[in-house]
Amino acid sequence: MGVIVRRHLDITLPRGRSAFLWGPRRVGKSHWIREHHGGAPLIDLLKSDVYAEYASRPALLRERFAGARHRLIVIDEIQKVPALLDEVHWLIENTSQSFLLTGSSSRKLRRGHANLLAGRAWRRQMMPLTLPEVDRLDLERVMTSGLLPPHFLSDSPVEDLRAYVGDYLKDEIAAEALTQNIPAFAEFLRVAAITSSELLNYTNVARETGVSAKVVRTYFEILEETYLGFRLPPWRRAKNRRLIETEKFYLFDVGVSNFLARRQPRMGSPEFGKSFEHYILMELKAYQAYRNPDLDLHFWRTASGYEVDAILGDRVVAVEVKAGRVHDGDLGSLRALLDEHRIKRPIVVSLEHEPRVVPPGIQILPWQHFLGRLWDGDLSL
């Protein structure tokens, strides 16, 4: 267990600008708002009385704040009252008021064709904790606890994960009316966790879950639109090799994924290797969200079985993740990629203790060293 030092999220809004802040529950949005915007008026739609007020009369927002001179107004869990976005739009247009609008699901807003402010609000996403945000990180423990702040800091992370999965991933999904078949969705979550980081196969997941492939597609969309998972697209540039063009899917937190899949990864086990790759991908996604939203992030896989875990940017960095000491036989996929494409920086992220370089210029880096260089901007992405 470590201590949270500071979060990387930065939302500095010029006067008259607004922003959406998305992210799953317990990722730390409310704590971040208290730390950075504690003096701003807060409309917390998780409070039943506040929700009832604004759900029955969205115009209250305009009536209460049209003449206000607040620098910023915060509305928490905006997806609970989509009609408030029309009032937010009016206030932005007519009073130059700034808003910070947080939410844990954009599905209801998108499916209900809610007013998403047509470019008048920036979009930001808060991710689970990253290496530079904590004072120390026990890699093996994190595979169980994950990196949602309350779980990372907990003395009983498994119990907290059990409550999170039961109370939020199932009941909250039902409360948002995203699906009515909660038993099927719960089984889907387990299968999605087991297959997290693998190629998406709707038919196989449907067979294991007991619903149709069409329903499974909807379930994956629910995970994406509630920020509980993301797709990793394949890199499609090919010269002489036939490439796999199927996406991968990752759940948003390695601890949640392992709890759902009933895995307890131990150093040296295949489960640990899978979780280590997942963890490194989450750091890359967080870097993309906080530092470089336009950064392209893909994986590369050939029909013959060569696979590189991540391609960052336009052939800037290729990353292969190995949970142990790296041997020459572990470099076949990177070398196959380098045979076809000029990659500026081929890297193996490993559990080795010292960096080294092997032909043809492949850097083998300890995982802490790689992530330090990533967050310090030393990879020139």
Q: What would the pLDDT profile of 232-276 be if each residue is shown by its tens digit?
A: 999 987 666 677 789 999 999 999 999 999 998 999 899 999 999
**CB count in 10 Å sphere of residue 53:** 16
Helix (H, G, I), strand (E, B) or coil at 362: strand
Same domain membership, residue 157 and residue 119 = no
CA distance 143 to 272: 8
Q: What is the pLDDT of residue 17?
A: 85
118 and 148 inside one domain: no
Coil, strand, or helix at residue 177?
coil
Which domain-ending residue is among 75, 103, 125? Answer: 125
Structural domain containing residue 119: 18-125
Look at residue 4 and tell me if it is in a domain: no
Length of the chain: 381
pTM: 0.92
Q: Which residues pair with 22 in a beta bridge?
A: 103, 125
Residue 96: pLDDT over 90: no
At residue 316 the predicted structure's pLDDT band, cuts being 50, 70 and 90, is: confident
Compute the mean pLDDT over every residue in the chain, rounded to the nearest whole number.
Answer: 89
Model pLDDT, residue 118: 65
The CA–CA distances, whole Å, from 299 to 43, 245, 306 equal 41, 10, 11
pLDDT digits (tens, 9 = 90+) for 161-193: 999 988 766 666 666 545 667 788 888 999 999
Task: Domain count for the chain, please give it.
Answer: 2
- CATH code of the domain containing 97: 3.40.50.300
Q: Which strand (E) or helix (H) includes residue 141?
A: helix 139-145
Last residue of one domain, picked from the residues 98, 125, 152? 125
Is 1 contained in some domain?
A: no
What pLDDT band is residue 53 in, cutting at 50, 70 and 90?
A: very high
Mean pLDDT of 277-296: 96
Please report the pLDDT score of residue 171 as a whole number: 63
Residue 335 clears pLDDT 80, i.e. is over it: yes
18 burial class (0-12, 13-18, 19+ CB within 10 angstroms)? Answer: buried
119 with 146, same domain? no
| Pair (290, 145) in one structural domain | yes
CA-CA distances (angstroms) from residue 8 to 4, 130, 133, 273?
Answer: 11, 9, 7, 27
- Average pLDDT score over residue span 325-335: 94
- Rounded-to-5 percentages of helix, strand, coil across the chain: 45, 15, 40
Has residue 140 got a pLDDT over 90? yes
Domain identity same for 94 and 113? yes
